[in-house]
Structure 1
Amino acid sequence: MKTLVFMTALGLAGCGTVGSDFQRPQAPLGQQWRQADDARFAAQQDADIERRWWDAFGDATLSSLVQRAASSNLDVLAAASRLEQSRAARGVAGAAQGPSLGANGSYGRARNSAQGLSDPSRHNGQSAYNLWQSNLDAAWELDLWGRVRREVEAADARVDVAVEAGRGVLLAVLAETARDYIELRGAQQTLAITEKLLAIARHTLELTRIRLREGVTTELDVAEAAAHVATIEARLPPLQQREARLANALSLLLALPPQALQAELAASGDIPAMAAQVQLGVPSGLAERRPDIRRAEAQLHAATAATGVAHGDFYPRITLSGSVGLQAMQLGDIGWDAKRFAIGPGFSVPLFDGGRLRGNLQLREAQQQEAAIAYRQTVLAAWHEVEDALSGYQANARRQASLDEAVRQGRRALSSAELQYRQGGTDLINVLHVQNTLINNEAALVDSRATASLSLVQVYKALGGGWQAFPLTSAQGNTP
């Protein structure tokens, strides 16, 4: 009994933990963005990115789609399920910190050999006997060296890994929803412009036929005008197919069947416009916001704790165990006099295992080193991604300004060419050339507007904003 009391006190006093404590790594990020001088960006130390960045586009349909995607997307729900699994696994690991308690009972009828070992029935194997027994068993591993605590620490870190992985999935879904919607509006705008220019080309064809009947033009001009109309008509089916594909892509993101959003998205809307200014914050904020960086940090934490567990395997394991129960040959004899108990400590010490423990420790240390390298790589890749997104945003803004001017001048040129053609001051070839130039510039302008908005989505995604607006739970219907 004195030994038991001593070992219990020792276990309660044990506070050392094997292995190295996790030290949060320093993210190798700069203090300022290269584009900080651009008036489009707010990159002050106290500037915080727009967490609900989709609302900054001022498009109610976009905001609604993003909201629904966050609550119903199947990838997000699967990530939430994986989070629940990791939390359950953490509960299993945490249970090892406390004692275990179990109860059992049994009844058996047996007959021993007269020539064998002692017969508990004292009949010398001459007759069968009954044996009734019940037990209450308890056991508790004294975590003197902190091995179990390191296992729990690793399990906690793996929960953090699942949390950040889920947030990464959520962020990707939010960005993909915004991208598909912007591309859809771009396709609809291009389709509308093409149909408008088709009407102009058909009007030119009809005018050319009138001029042919009046004898002021030739069949060649009519054929060229008709070919121009057919060329524009050939552009419509791919645009219509792209519109349908993007609408279905949005349906899939919202876990809806094909064409479920057709009525909602059928009416063409404007391409969501770029924000006047984008809040960037500073590069060091990426380590706090981006789920991939936070996940890499949690993986490093889990690997560090697992190394501690491997260290702990070298130390003795001391377990307190006890059992109390009843045992009797007849059921009617079960009572206080039939009590039995056993209590005491036990220990196991690794003496020789052929290098298994040493190999396991080397494996865990190598995995910890890999996790540290992966963290640095993730941070560096995130920095590059933001810089590339900001450069793309700037380039698309400049391109859009130039195309705005090109389209404005192209419309003036087309009006002038059509007037001169009706008055006989120019030939059809010049009119068709101006029309083609305007078609290409109009399409390029729409593409530029869509690309500029898409680049802004990429900026927000690269900055790691958006997931904060939605809790990652298995019951995603209660999102704000």
Structure 2
Amino acid sequence: MKTIHIKVFAVLALMLALSSCNIYRPYKTPEMNTDDLYRTDVPADSANMALRPWQELFTDQNLRNLIDSALVNNFDYQTAMYMVEEANAAFAQGKAAFFPTLNISADGTLSKVEDVPHGEYYNIAAAASWELDIFGRLRSAKRAAKAALLQSIAYKRAVETQVIASVANGYYTLLSLDKQLRVYDETILLWSETVRTMEDMMEAGSTNLAAVTQSRANLYSAQAAREDILYNIRVTENSLRLLIGQPAGEIVRGTFEDQQLTTDLQVGLPSQLLANRPDVQQAEAGVRAAFAKTNVARAAFYPRFTITANGGYANDGTVSFAPGAFFANLVGGLVQPLFNAGTNRANLRIAKAQQEEALLAFEKSLINAGIEVSNLLYNYNTTAQKLDARAQQVEQLQIAVDATNELFKLSSTTYLEVLTAQQSLLSARISQIGDQLTQMENVVNLYQALGGGWERPVEEEK
């Protein structure tokens, strides 16, 4: 027995000596240059609108209610939460690999032969197995599972921000369609009066049939366009209902004019994208997972040491209980890969290549984040200039419509000029609503691009 103990301790000493070869390599977050990520003249400042809760950004209570409902019932978001649960279970399984496994078995037999005493046979056994993580294989596998968990959490955050932005943009689109509908209703009312006036003028001999038919065609065109808007309103409502996990139906909403979104666009420092953008977090966790899997592949070249213990009780069928029937066994096992057709070497090459792929994906996600922020900032600024010009255009076209109507009544111009002015004014008013919607979407999308929307842990908010 003493010799067995010496051999076991000798094997353990050998394992400890081999472990000093530093097979396991610690992970370090890749260094990324974030200085030039933003193409903007905005001065660098740590103030970042992404850190604001979405409840502060969106002041319309109807929109808040929709977002709250979406974060409970949205199908994609619920799926993402279950993916986190799956990753949590896999991580727990990875941690459990450090502990021994225990199996218990029991059986018994009763035999009876005539004129022969009956025999009772019992066997109760327990077996335990424990792998010593000498070369960090289990530790690396656990860290790969932890990185996968971080990936799933980041994905859930990305879905959360996408859901919030989609609901907000859909809501603002719906309000803009409502406003377009009001513009068409006003236009149809005015053009209907114009048609009646034209018909009266034709009866009085002040105009001709061509002018009357043109005015009617103009009115019918507006009425047809109104039906398109009604259809788009219905489709947008149903799309929003899907986002909140509900069947088709109406959406309770406010008005386009009452919306108030911030004009203080604080984009923070480019380096903050690393902590705020969920897709960047997900990509970095992918690098972490690939690195851990490379360590697992590297550890496969080295031995695996397992300690197995067996014990139990068995009788010989003649005595119900005999102290000498107890048995126990302790075995230390060493498995060293020798020939496996180059599988380990190929697996290591694959793992290293996947690690490089993950690193490139991380770098790409960061650059893409900077480009998105830069484009949205520029679009916000250009749209602001466009809104100023559009307001002046609408004002001048309204003056032109009023003037041409008066001139037409005095027979100083043709109806073609009136028609052109009316159509131009309608087009400009609809474009103005589109520009206003674009500016709202710029704020929402910039908030998302900076990484705003997902719920941060309490310690991150302090």
| Residues 6-15 or 271-280, more deviating | 6-15
Are 1:92 and 2:93 matched, yes or no?
yes
CA distance in 2, matches of 1:219, 1:48: 60
CA distance in 2, matches of 1:56, 1:193: 28
- Name the aligned partner's letter for residue 214 of structure 1: A
- Name the aligned partner's letter for residue 83 of structure 2: R
CA drift of 1:46 comes to 4.3
Quote the RMSD (CA, aligned, Å). Answer: 2.7
CA drift of 1:63 comes to 2.1
Q: Could you tell me which residue of structure 1 aligns to residue 29 of structure 2?
A: 24
Question: What TM-score results when the alignment is normalised by the length of structure 1?
Answer: 0.87
SS at match of 1:448: helix
Q: Could you tell me which residue of structure 2 aligns to residue 61 of structure 1?
A: 62
CA distance in 2, matches of 1:250, 1:93: 40
- Name the aligned partner's letter for residue 65 of structure 2: S
Q: Could you tell me which residue of structure 2 aligns to residue 211 of structure 1?
A: 201
Are 1:80 and 2:81 matched, yes or no?
yes
CA drift of 1:97 comes to 0.8
SS at match of 2:284: helix
CA distance in 2, matches of 1:59, 1:47: 22
CA distance in 1, matches of 2:456, 2:189: 46
Are 1:168 and 2:158 matched, yes or no?
yes
SS at match of 2:65: helix
SS at match of 1:249: helix
| Equivalent residues in 2 for 1:17-166, closer than 5 Å | 18-30=23-35, 33-37=38-42, 43-47=44-48, 49-53=50-54, 55-108=56-109, 131-166=121-156
Within the candidate set 182, 188, 200, 2:172 is matched to 182
CA distance in 1, matches of 2:41, 2:79: 38
CA drift of 1:197 comes to 0.8
Within the candidate set 220, 226, 229, 1:230 is matched to 220
Conserved in 1, the CA contact under 8 Å of 2:49 and 2:265? no
Q: Could you tell me which residue of structure 2 aligns to residue 476 of structure 1?
A: none
CA drift of 1:129 comes to 7.1
Conserved in 2, the CA contact under 8 Å of 1:154 and 1:301? yes
Judging changes above 3 Å, is the alpha-carbon distance between structure 1 residues 61 and 417 closer, same or farther for their aligned structure 2 residues?
same
Q: Could you tell me which residue of structure 2 aligns to residue 359 of structure 1?
A: 346
CA drift of 1:469 comes to 5.4
CA drift of 1:150 comes to 0.8
CA drift of 1:3 comes to 4.0
Conserved in 2, the CA contact under 8 Å of 1:186 and 1:446? yes
Q: Could you tell me which residue of structure 1 aligns to residue 185 of structure 2?
A: 195
CA drift of 1:36 comes to 3.1
1:110-160 residue CA offsets vs partner (Å, 9 max, x unmatched): 9xxxxxxxxxxxxxxxx9976421112111111111111111111111100
Judging changes above 3 Å, is the alpha-carbon distance between structure 1 residues 316 and 11 closer, same or farther for their aligned structure 2 residues?
closer
CA distance in 1, matches of 2:382, 2:137: 55
Structure 2, unaligned runs of 5 or more? 112-116
Q: Could you tell me which residue of structure 2 aligns to residue 451 of structure 1?
A: 438
CA distance in 2, matches of 1:461, 1:100: 47
Conserved in 2, the CA contact under 8 Å of 1:135 and 1:326? yes
Conserved in 1, the CA contact under 8 Å of 2:279 and 2:365? yes
SS at match of 2:150: helix
SS at match of 2:257: coil
Are 1:347 and 2:348 matched, yes or no?
no
CA distance in 2, matches of 1:222, 1:95: 85
CA drift of 1:364 comes to 0.9
CA distance in 2, matches of 1:36, 1:99: 60
- Name the aligned partner's letter for residue 312 of structure 1: A
CA drift of 1:234 comes to 1.1
Judging changes above 3 Å, is the alpha-carbon distance between structure 1 residues 18 and 324 closer, same or farther for their aligned structure 2 residues?
same
Structure 1, unaligned runs of 5 or more? 111-126, 472-480
Within the candidate set 251, 270, 277, 2:264 is matched to 277
| Residues 300-309 or 129-138, more deviating | 129-138
CA distance in 2, matches of 1:50, 1:310: 40
CA distance in 2, matches of 1:348, 1:419: 100
CA distance in 1, matches of 2:368, 2:34: 11
| Equivalent residues in 2 for 1:373-452, closer than 5 Å | 373-452=360-439
CA drift of 1:423 comes to 3.8
CA distance in 1, matches of 2:129, 2:302: 19
Once the two structures are aligned, what percentage of the paired residues are identical? 26
CA distance in 1, matches of 2:44, 2:314: 77
Question: What TM-score results when the alignment is normalised by the length of structure 2?
Answer: 0.90
Judging changes above 3 Å, is the alpha-carbon distance between structure 1 residues 358 and 9 closer, same or farther for their aligned structure 2 residues?
closer
CA distance in 1, matches of 2:119, 2:298: 51
Q: Could you tell me which residue of structure 1 aligns to residue 449 of structure 2?
A: 462
CA distance in 1, matches of 2:444, 2:63: 12
CA drift of 1:70 comes to 1.7
Conserved in 2, the CA contact under 8 Å of 1:50 and 1:279? no
Conserved in 2, the CA contact under 8 Å of 1:16 and 1:144? no
Judging changes above 3 Å, is the alpha-carbon distance between structure 1 residues 47 and 289 closer, same or farther for their aligned structure 2 residues?
closer
CA distance in 2, matches of 1:453, 1:77: 27
CA distance in 2, matches of 1:153, 1:331: 54
CA distance in 2, matches of 1:50, 1:192: 37
SS at match of 2:442: helix
| Equivalent residues in 2 for 1:243-258, closer than 5 Å | 243-258=233-248
Conserved in 1, the CA contact under 8 Å of 2:154 and 2:282? yes
CA drift of 1:268 comes to 4.6
- Name the aligned partner's letter for residue 45 of structure 1: S
Q: Could you tell me which residue of structure 2 aligns to residue 124 of structure 1?
A: none
1:183-234 residue CA offsets vs partner (Å, 9 max, x unmatched): 1111111111011111111110011111122221112221111111111111
- Name the aligned partner's letter for residue 52 of structure 1: P
CA distance in 1, matches of 2:312, 2:336: 30
CA drift of 1:15 comes to 7.7
Conserved in 2, the CA contact under 8 Å of 1:49 and 1:278? no
Conserved in 2, the CA contact under 8 Å of 1:17 and 1:146? no
Q: Could you tell me which residue of structure 2 aligns to residue 315 of structure 1?
A: 302
CA distance in 2, matches of 1:202, 1:302: 68
